[in-house]
C-alpha cells in the first residue's frame, strides 16, 4: 500500500503510466514519461528487486527516491534535466552509470559524489554534458580537451573500465596516475584587456553605479555653458590644395 504522501505525489503527476512500466526479471524501465522525479510507486512495487533501472527521456531534476533501490547495478539516466545540484545516494553495487545529455557542468563535484557513493563503478558515460568537453557539448572543444578530461576522470575513478562507451586502456591508466591530477579543468575569470594589462570584468550583479549615490529631484542639475572660442581655418587641411580661388 502507498502511504498518503506518495498518493498525493502520484496524483500531482496524473498517476503513474502503468502501460509505460516494463519490469522483466530484475530490470525496470520507465522511459519517456516527462516525470520530474522518480515516481514513488516504482520504488514501492519494485525497488528491492531491481538491479537495472532505465529512466531515460524523462524530465528528472532530482534523484530523490533512488535510495530505495538498494541492489541497483545499472542506472541509465540519459536525456533528463539533472544538474550539479543532484544528490547521488549510496549505491554500493552500482557498476554502470549513464548520464548522457543532462545539465551537468561541474565535473569535479560529480566525480566526488561518484567516488563517495559508488565504489564499484566500472562504466561511466557523460556525453552531452558541459562537464564532458567534446563537440557534443561545446563546438569550441577539441580532441586535446577531451583527452585531458579522460585522464582526470580516470585519475579520480581508478576502477573505471569504460568511459563514455570507450574502454579505458592500460596506457591511459598509467598516464592518468602520472599526471591526471594536473588535468583538472579550471574555469578562468572573464577579463577585459586594457593598455596596462587584463582587468577583471565587474560583477554584473554588483550594485555599483557610476551615478551619484544621492537621488536628485527634477530641475536639480548642473551643467556648463559658453561660447566656443576655437575657429577652424582649414589651413592644415590636405584638401585645400585642390581648391582654387574661383571655386570659392
Q: Which of 5-9, 11-15, 215-219 shows the lowest per-residue confidence on average (mean pLDDT)?
A: 5-9
Task: Please provide the average confidence, as pLDDT, over all residues in the chain.
Answer: 78
212 or 140, higher pLDDT: 140
pLDDT value, residue 236: 52
Confidence band, pLDDT 50/70/90 cuts, at residue 239: low
Tell me the pLDDT tens digit for each residue of 115-141: 999 999 999 999 999 999 976 656 666
> Are the C-beta atoms of residues 66 and 90 closer than 8 Å to each other?
no
Any domain includes 193: no
Q: For residue 234, tell me if it sits in a domain.
A: no
Q: pLDDT at residue 169 above 90?
A: yes
Quickly tell me which residue has 536628485 as its cell.
216
- Asked whether residue 13 is assigned to any structural domain, the reply reads yes
Domain annotation covers residue 239? no
Residue 216 falls inside a structural domain: no
CA atoms in the 13 A half-sphere facing the CB of 175 = 13
Structural domain for 172, as ranges? 4-183
Burial 121-158 (b: 16+ CB within 10 A, else e): bbbbbbbbbbbbbbeebeeebeeebbebbbbbbbbbbe
Identify whether 240 is part of a domain.
no
CATH number at residue 111: 3.80.10.10
The mean-pLDDT minimum among 10-24, 75-89, 209-223 falls in: 209-223
Q: With respect to residue 194, please indicate whether it lies within any of the assigned structural domains.
A: no
Contacts for 164 with CB less than 8 Å, ≥ 6 apart: 124, 125, 126, 127, 132, 150
pTM: 0.69
**Residue 190 belongs to a domain:** no
Write down how long the chain is: 248
Residue 16 or residue 103, greater confidence? 103
Counting the structural domains of the chain, the total is 1
Amino acid at each position: 500500500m502507498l502511504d498518503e504522501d506518495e498518493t498525493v505525489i502520484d496524483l500531482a503527476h496524473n498517476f503513474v503510466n502503468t502501460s509505460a512500466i516494463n519490469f522483466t526479471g530484475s530490470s525496470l524501465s520507465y522511459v519517456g514519461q516527462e516525470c520530474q522525479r522518480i515516481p514513488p510507486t516504482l520504488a514501492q512495487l519494485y525497488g528491492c528487486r531491481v538491479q537495472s533501472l532505465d529512466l531515460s527521456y524523462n524530465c528528472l531534476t532530482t534523484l530523490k527516491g533512488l535510495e530505495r533501490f538498494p541492489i541497483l547495478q545499472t542506472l541509465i539516466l540519459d536525456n533528463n534535466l539533472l544538474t550539479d545540484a543532484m544528490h547521488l545516494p549510496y549505491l554500493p553495487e552500482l557498476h554502470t552509470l549513464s548520464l548522457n545529455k543532462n545539465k551537468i557542468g561541474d565535473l569535479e563535484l560529480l566525480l566526488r559524489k561518484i567516488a563517495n557513493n559508488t565504489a564499484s563503478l566500472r562504466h561511466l558515460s557523460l556525453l552531452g554534458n558541459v562537464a564532458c568537453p567534446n563537440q557534443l557539448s561545446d563546438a569550441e572543444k577539441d580532441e586535446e580537451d577531451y583527452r585531458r578530461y579522460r585522464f582526470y576522470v580516470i585519475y579520480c575513478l581508478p576502477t573505471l573500465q569504460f568511459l563514455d562507451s570507450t574502454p579505458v586502456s592500460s596506457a591511459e591508466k598509467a598516464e592518468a596516475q602520472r599526471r591526471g591530477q594536473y588535468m583538472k579543468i579550471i574555469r578562468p575569470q572573464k577579463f577585459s584587456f586594457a593598455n596596462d594589462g587584463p582587468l577583471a570584468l565587474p560583477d554584473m550583479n554588483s550594485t555599483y553605479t557610476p551615478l551619484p549615490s544621492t537621488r536628485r529631484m527634477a530641475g536639480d542639475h548642473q551643467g556648463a555653458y559658453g561660447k566656443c572660442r576655437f575657429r577652424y581655418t582649414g589651413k592644415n587641411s590636405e584638401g585645400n590644395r585642390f581648391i582654387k580661388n574661383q571655386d570659392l
